[in-house]
Amino acid sequence: MQVVKFLVLGIATINACQIDLTTKGLPTCEQACPEWCWATVISEIKEYYQIQSMMLPPVTAKCHNYECKVVSNMRKASCCNNSTECLPSSGSLGCGNPSSPEEIMKGFQLEIPKQKWIHMHGKPGFQCKPSDGCYPKEDVLQHLLMSNIPIARATHGHITTVSGCRMNDDGVVEYRVLDSLKDPSIQIWMNYTILTNGPPPGQGDGPWQNTYFSNATLNTLKK
């Protein structure tokens, strides 16, 4: 079990969150294979940090072409053949097979080693909520985003990227979600309740269960 405690000074207030990291180089990509959402998110965030480190302006997203390399590196297989890589296999390390929370964490560490990675995954047997350590409380989530840190948000069987926040016309703070299964030209925004608990049944992915982000600019204690 891993519990992450945050010691943050000067956290942005709930009403002050206004940022979209896609304007700062975070690409929006569609996944190349049915089970490659995890590789897409890793590729998106890797490209973002490469742009940040080189202080380059946003460019055309390359992450779609890099997904197979992420899978190849993790599975120690040739997954860029454009023919069979999307097919599942009986072995857990097949190119087309889904990933696990532990493998996703290793993927971030392998592909983006210059960042210090945090994996929030809650308490076994408990419902996922901030007190269980599955995802950040809303003020911490906003602080991360306002610190230019994208957050990978894993639900049951899917993973997306939280890339920004804004206040809607009703005065409610919404969060932008990059979903590799959706049309990237259509923006997805949702409030914190839907972001964490999931939309109504049949209208999208379920509750937020695993969180991944770089801790390069945030003081944390892990116990």
Q: What is the CATH number of the domain that holds 76?
A: 3.90.70.10
The partner residues of 159 in beta bridges, in order of sequence, read 154
Per-residue pLDDT at 156: 85
pLDDT score recorded for residue 12: 43
Name the pLDDT band for 57 (thresholds 50, 70, 90).
Answer: low
**Cross-strand partners of 5:** 221
Long-range pairs of 53-62 with CB within 8 A, sequence gap ≥ 24:
53/114, 56/25, 57/25, 58/22, 58/23, 58/24, 58/25, 58/27, 59/25, 61/27, 61/28, 61/29, 62/27
Total domains in the chain come to 1
Beta-carbon contacts of residue 130 (< 8 Å; ≥ 6 apart): 136, 137
Residues contacting residue 17 through CB under 8 Å, at least 6 positions apart: 142, 145, 146, 165, 166, 167, 173
Average pLDDT over residues 148-152: 97
Amino acid at 206: G
pLDDT digits (tens, 9 = 90+) for 153-178: 999 889 999 999 999 999 999 999 99
Question: Does the pLDDT value for residue 105 go beyond 50?
Answer: yes
User: In this model, does residue 206 exceed pLDDT 90?
Assistant: no
7-11, 27-31, 111-115: the lowest-pLDDT one: 7-11
Please answer whether residues 161 and 41 qualify as being in contact, where contact means their C-beta atoms are separated by less than 8 angstroms: yes
Most confident of 24-28, 61-65, 83-87, 126-130: 24-28
**The pLDDT of residue 216:** 58
- Structural domain that includes position 171: 4-222
Predicted confidence band at 217 (pLDDT cuts at 50, 70, 90)? low
pTM over 0.75, yes/no: yes
